[in-house]
Structure 1
């Protein structure tokens, strides 16, 4: 048995969570956890049971996650701003739902599995486990799948707890830390965002999403709450902030900024490092390996010719291997394969995909496994890893990993679309965005109609910025759609979006 990180939370009257409408002390936060855990346990929730957490931003999701862990069960957080069909797909396989009285009618109509427990519910006291088995399920987080459906990644307790404690230690978080929660609900980085500052006895600032997306309001909030730490910010969001009036003054109070989810190179190439006066850390790691595998401390004068993701964190091994899982020669590109206790259990209900991506580690102890990321990198003489991009079609937009096949499938469900291929492009600020190339009778179908169609099933980060209408797709010699030709064709050939706004 191991103790969960909850045992490390303070139990005092110091402020734990700050929202625009309220402040919550550590004692108040913890006083809500056990009563909800009793209510869950009374409904049969315990180890290997999955609780879907569907709540608005604020203290409630934090209470819910803590209560789930208190029972020894696992949590699955969904973003309540997603379309209903998307939430249905993500919540499949859950054993209970934790939500609010205001949201309960909406989810009742969806028919989600298991009983519904309100976040402010208090059950009669029952015995709760003193700890959890290291190999028991801790949480479920989703990645976009190549078949057009989200893949549910199963992460165990054994590495989540030491990882969060290591974040507190390595980033020197403490009672004076004031951290801003930035990671979206359901994104595994939200665990680091939320619980590392609380484990340190610091203060967590939780703002409405609208505030986070409005630079002037966000800058004002940074000053008002004296935010000094961001643990999970995407480089593209940093670039967005850096381009706003007053950015240099607004960001000067940040003593730690840790990025996640995508390449930092465009931000650094644009001169963004000078706007971050404190420590800037580039974190790398897929959901399947419990958040972080490597990290790189960015110097004041960074090398922008390479995309450095640093060295493995303590307890993690990163091997660069070829297609036959043999080590590549020094300095040569190889697939990033991650080994260690952070490697997840696999994908729920996807045994074939699990066996393909989670494979026996030929260089580890008997029975150990490694995760094949599909990312490419090479190791520099310094031992640091230089990221070289994806080895397959999956891409990252604003920190979200996306498979174009999922978007293509949604586009093809429109009656006027006969063919769909999604590629990426970059704008003048080196920001990556999606382009949907379409065939079909689309002359009378406006972009707004296509966006509305996609919005019924897809989240905003999977929305193409442009829709290019083609008479036919270029093809390879084997008859497949030539995606490279689509991505590199001159703009007049690629898009006719100007008349379809």
Structure 2
């Protein structure tokens, strides 16, 4: 099977001297990138990387991460990329749930993280190319496992999502084609490693023969250094910006200067409507695309090109990407009438295999398509939407999950972590919205906490949870309110949280 990695390597043959990567350590040509990918793929293949085996990639942002992910696929295996800035306990949980068999890292990170990977460890700072007898074979077919990503889980443990090559390759080629990426594309890697949007950020520009710019994560979080990176490197494409980040930029002095020269900005992860309603569209001179889609459907399922004078009365997420089917169904899995609200079910090429090691949850969320050909499946998103003249109009969630800074979050995961604190006897986490339309978490806790500070509670959470799962506010209660059934009254708590 020919994959996007083969297309990337073809650029090394046709235009070997063209710059592929710009990093703090210097530039890498397509020839150099191709050589490093094939060399590491040989090492991985000789070490046992094969179809259905998962290689954990635990390296910092930079050329090593790009090479490692591509090399894993070229060797025929699947990758699980980790954000090494997250707590080691969290990374260990991801490795276990993702079923990692091999580990790609550096000597220093291997010692610090101590990840529970049972198979071989390849240290990039000690790796050298050798003439191995075994050559990489690539994936066995379109249904081979390509990567493992994670979603927040109600049990307190993250759920590993299994994505196949058919979905990944189809989606990346769609992005390059539909968004007009090419050799003149200069894209800034914005999404953090370990978040599936980083795969789009990284490989769509390289598939198109463009240049990928990688800067330290801290530079992306400060407006002036972000703007400096855009100007210095001639960045013209942003493939993974969240509405929260755009709103943050819009609040800076002379925000248009920070995005000058950007001809394409692709937003995803949460509602774009508050940003547009605040007049943010004028901040971007080029095209602005609003994307929608869950991790379980290969990053993105629909997209909408936002007009210069956008409709701010609705959250328009548009029409399906190539090979994807979107259905609005009622509880009986029948199509809802035109213009009425239904639950979003997604089918087609991007639907994941399921959740690793969780057959019951897989059966609950991945269901047969009653309107499709035999054997076809739909992913039940839990999102509500209605069809409008310009495509899907997103109307929110039908369950407790929320989007925080682009991440889909189940508050139960935070509740489970809070309850592991010795002095917390009860915990309910709700979502609130601030005056700028940004969603955040509020933790409502009970227990003998008079001598326990918010800092101590957050430090406790920080041992197992990433930053996007950290509550912005912690409310202490004598007892949690309950409804008639005796369950915690989450609605009352959420309404008390209000807008701040």
**TM-score of the superposed pair, with normalisation by structure 2:** 0.96
| Residue 4 (structure 1) aligns with | 3
Q: Describe the SS at the equivalent of 2:37.
A: helix
Of the three residues 305, 308, 322, the one matched with 1:300 is 308
Instruction: Give the CA deviation at 1:383.
Output: 5.3
**1:471 Cα deviation (Å)?**
1.1
Aligned partner of residue 322 in structure 2, secondary structure: coil
C-alpha contact (below 8 Å) 2:160/2:355 kept by paired residues = yes
Partner of 1:396: 403
- Select which of 90, 108, 131 maps to 1:86: 90
Structure 1 residue aligned with 2:19, among 15, 22, 28?
Answer: 15
Within 1, Cα distance between the matches of 2:430 and 2:124?
A: 41
How far the C-alpha of 1:245 sits from its partner, in A, is 1.8
What is the distance in 1 between the residues matched to 2:327 and 2:454? 44
Instruction: Show the counterpart of 2:495.
Output: 488
Q: Which one of the candidate residues 134, 154, 157 is aligned to 2:162?
A: 154
1:287 and 1:427 mapped to 2: Cα distance? 26
Secondary structure of 1:197's partner? helix
Q: After TM superposition, list the pairs within 5 Å mapping 1:264-413 onto structure 2.
A: 264-380=272-388, 382=389, 384-413=391-420
1:176 and 2:180 aligned: no
| Aligned-residue offset at 1:235 | 0.6
Partner Cα distance (1:102, 1:225) in 2: 30
Counterpart of 1:128? 136
For residue 102 of structure 1, give the secondary structure of its aligned residue in structure 2: helix
Alignment of structure 1 residues 33-112 onto 2, 5 Å? 33-92=37-96, 93-107=99-113, 109-112=114-117
CA distance in 2, matches of 1:203, 1:36: 21
Distance in 2 (CA, whole Å) between partners of 1:486 and 1:239 is: 27
Could you say which residue in structure 1 is the equivalent of 2:470? 463
Cα deviations by residue, 1:218-250 (Å, 9 ceiling, x for unpaired): 111111111110001111011011111231112
Give the Cα–Cα distance (whole angstroms) in 2 for the partners of residues 228 and 147 of structure 1.
Answer: 41
Q: Give me the whole-angstrom Cα distance separating, in 2, the residues matched to 1:67 and 1:410.
A: 35
Distance 2:496 2:101 in 1: 48
CA distance in 1, matches of 2:26, 2:307: 38
Using the alignment, how far apart are the partners of 1:490 and 1:57 within structure 2? 37
Cα shift at 1:367: 0.6
Specify the SS of the correspondent of 2:345.
strand
Q: 1:131: Cα distance to partner?
A: 5.2
Task: Name the count of aligned residue pairs.
Answer: 490
RMSD across aligned positions (CA): 1.4
Structure 2 unaligned regions, length at least 5: none
Q: Secondary structure at the match of 2:86?
A: coil
Aligned to 1:164: 172
Q: 1:123 to 1:405 in 2, by over 3 A?
A: farther
Determine the C-alpha separation between the residues in 1 that align with 2:33 and 2:415. Answer: 44
Distance 1:252 1:227 in 2: 9
Would the alpha carbon gap of residues 392 and 27 (structure 1) be closer, same or farther in structure 2, given more than 3 Å must change? Answer: same
- Alpha-carbon distance between aligned partners in 2 of 1:64 and 1:161, rounded to the nearest angstrom: 17
Cα distance in structure 1, aligned partners of 2:225 and 2:111: 32
For residue 37 of structure 1, report the CA deviation from its aligned partner: 1.0
Contact 2:77 2:139 in 1 (8 A): no
- Residue 289 of structure 2 aligns to a residue in which SS? strand
Q: Please say which of residues 123-132 and 367-376 is displaced more in the overlay.
A: 123-132
In structure 1, C-alpha distance between the alignment counterparts of 2:334 and 2:328, rounded to whole Å: 8
Report the Cα distance in structure 2 between the residues aligned to 1:77 and 1:354, rounded to whole angstroms: 22
Q: Deviations over 1:132-158 (max 9, x none)?
A: 311110000000111111000000011
- Per-residue deviation at 1:71? 1.0
The question of whether the paired residues in 2 share the 8 Å contact of 1:132 and 1:157 is answered with: no
- How far apart are residue 263 of structure 1 and its match? 0.5
Where 1:419 maps in the other structure, the secondary structure is strand
Matches within 5 A, 1:137-216: 137-216=145-224
| Residue number in structure 2 paired with 1:498 | none
The corresponding residue for 1:113 is: 118
Q: Is the 8 A contact 2:183 2:211 kept in 1?
A: yes
The correspondence of residues 393-472 of structure 1 with structure 2, limited to 5 A, is 393-472=400-479
